Amino acid sequence: MDNQPRVVVAGVEDSRDAWAALDWAAAEAAGRQRPLRLVHVLNVSAHRVREAPQEELPGLQEAWRQRGQRLLEQATRKVAERHPTVPVMSAIMIAPSVAAALLAEAGDAELIVVGARGSGGFPELLLGSVGGHLATHANRPVVVVRRQGTVSRGVVVGVDAGRTCASTLAFAFEEAALRGTGLTAIHAWDDIRLMPGGAELSLPHGGAGQARQARQLLAAALDEGGKTFPDVPVSGIVHRGGAAYALTSASKGAELVVVGSRGRGGFTGLLLGSVSRTVLHQAACTVAVVRNSA
């Protein structure tokens, strides 16, 4: 059994969200008393490298490597100033995919932290490709850090039915406890059924029974989850309607929204459910996606 402490991994690059992700990851490493591993990836399939004449490649890669090294040194100093007790390691990787390289580096990580956006892509996108790929493929929690205009407090968690939500809830309780803040658990249900052909059918008398069931489900999940963290103040919200809407609305007053990678529904084989995907794109705050098996 390997008794090395598990690390918090952060994807480092020179963009505003990536610096915010570094701050988040450093505070998290301090709170969890874990070492922090900073990873910068030289993306060799980036346009500039692909287009460069063959003979210029070695020089170009060396210049990039040196720039990456300086970036990591700057990031390491920043962490040391704010969190002097956190052990920091860093690595530069040369790879054709940033997300794949981060995944490879984070095989044994406690969690992986990246910014919602990086330095590339179209300005109007709300999520870059790295966060999307990691949330889809990582087998450990992925935190996508989004900078917020206002200071908000509290952790929100989306609770689905059954066993699938246990790891999500455990992570959410842990985060609320680490931050000394409250947890709002949201379970959404709705009595609309899609009929073959796409017509909607609202069950006439199903509502009251389903609402009661939803409340029971949420209470049972919170009872179970709360056993380990009895000091975390918890409130439960049962929402009649869409889960993605309820969670993104709640994200406006929260510092973190936690969702599972899969819910109960959807197609088997999907790695990231539609609620989690929407929340990842649309939440007003930082989002954690916790891998669960549907």
Point out which residues bind ligand ATP (CB under 6 A): 11-13, 15, 17-18, 21, 39-41, 43, 98, 114-115, 117-121, 128-131
- For ligand ATP, which is the closer residue by CB, 128 or 158? 128
The CA distance from 164 to 145, in Å, is 24
**Per rule CB under 5 A, is residue 97 in the interface with Mg ion?**
no
Query: Quick one: what does residue 148 bind among ligand ATP, Mg ion, none, with the CB cut-off 5 to 8 Å set by partner type?
Result: none
Q: What is the DSSP string of 225-254?
A: HHTS-TTS-EEEEEEES-HHHHHHHHHTT-
Q: Which stretch binds Mg ion (CB under 5 A): 70-78, 116-124, 216-224, 284-292?
A: 116-124
Write down the least CB distance from residue 120 to Mg ion, Å. Answer: 3
Q: Is residue 49 close enough to count as binding Mg ion by CB under 5 A?
A: no
15 binds Mg ion (CB under 5 A): no
Question: What's the burial of 60, exposed, middle or buried (CB within 10 Å: 0-12/13-18/19+)?
Answer: middle
Restricted to residues 118-137, the positions that interact with Mg ion (CB under 5 A) are 118, 120
Considering the complex, what minimum distance in angstroms separates the CB of residue 155 from ligand ATP? 21
Which of 120, 266 has the CB closer to ligand ATP?
Answer: 120
Nearest to ligand ATP of 98, 138 (CB atom): 98
**Minimal distance in Å, beta carbon 58 to Mg ion?**
23
Q: How far is the CB of 288 from ligand ATP (least distance, A)?
A: 14
Judged by beta carbon, residue 24 or residue 189, the one nearer ligand ATP is 24
Told to check if 207 binds Mg ion by CB under 5 A, we report no
Smallest gap from residue 98 Cβ to Mg ion (A): 7
| Nearest-approach distance from CB 76 to Mg ion, in angstroms | 21
Q: How many residues bind Mg ion (CB under 5 A)?
A: 2
Contact (Cβ atoms closer than 8 angstroms) between residue 234 and residue 219: no
Q: Which residues bind to Mg ion, rule: CB under 5 A?
A: 118, 120
